[in-house]
Structure 1
Amino acid sequence: MNAERLMQVILAPVVTEKTTNIADKYRQVTFRVLSDATKIEVKAAVELLFNVKVDSVSIFNRKGKVKRFGRFIGHRRNEKKAYVSLSDGHEINFAEVV
């Protein structure tokens, strides 16, 4: 895989109350990824960027909600999330990574 492509696969970490609980309980980290990213690409990108060992990756496609803006109808963007399970002894702390 191309290192340049792997640097673009991960868009942002998802840091919410729910994902923080998942990280504490199951050693999983959640990322927003490109819409055409595969599990293999996400695994390689996380291992390259954060120097950790990844056990597995689960991908979740979330459809954007249809919302009304006054009399206009629009919708939020579709989003692809990756839940990354880390091996024993590995962790990613977003407070330290800048």
Structure 2
Amino acid sequence: MMKIHKNLLEIIKYPIITDKTTQYIEDNKYCFAVDYKANKTNIKAAIEYLFNVKVTKVNTSKIPPKTKKVGRFIGKKTKYKKAIIELNNQYKINLFDEN
């Protein structure tokens, strides 16, 4: 049982906060960068376990690696998977600390 909870904690990496995703929060949708191999059921279980909320919908998209150039060196940024989670209307996730 402990191993399952550890795996759920490793699925969600960090919240994605941009202008577009802050507009999503008004519609009760939240964006997270997740493990590249995670599927929708794992993502739903991880969000419900971490934040104690009820998820109604999960949309995912794989973001391809982008090339970056620093001087004469060319490299690639890491690829990642983005999950857009829609919560039930009575639940909220507080991503920002209100002082």
TM-score by length of 2: 0.89
- One-letter code of the match for 1:56? K
Q: Could you list the runs of 5+ residues in structure 2 that have no partner in the other structure?
A: none
Q: Please give the alpha-carbon distance, in whole angstroms, between the structure 1 residues aligned to 2:10 and 2:74.
A: 32
Partner of 1:12: 14
Q: How many residues align?
A: 96
Q: Please give the alpha-carbon distance, in whole angstroms, between the structure 2 residues aligned to 1:90 and 1:29.
A: 12
- One-letter code of the match for 2:17? V
- One-letter code of the match for 2:18? T
* Identity rate, percent: 38
Residue by residue over 1:35-58, the C-alpha shift from the partner in whole angstroms, topping out at 9 and shown as x without a partner, is 111100100000001010000101
TM-score by length of 1: 0.90
Deviation at 1:69, TM superposition (A): 1.5
Report the aligned-residue RMSD: 1.6
Q: Please give the alpha-carbon distance, in whole angstroms, between the structure 1 residues aligned to 2:96 and 2:11.
A: 21
Partner of 2:55: 54
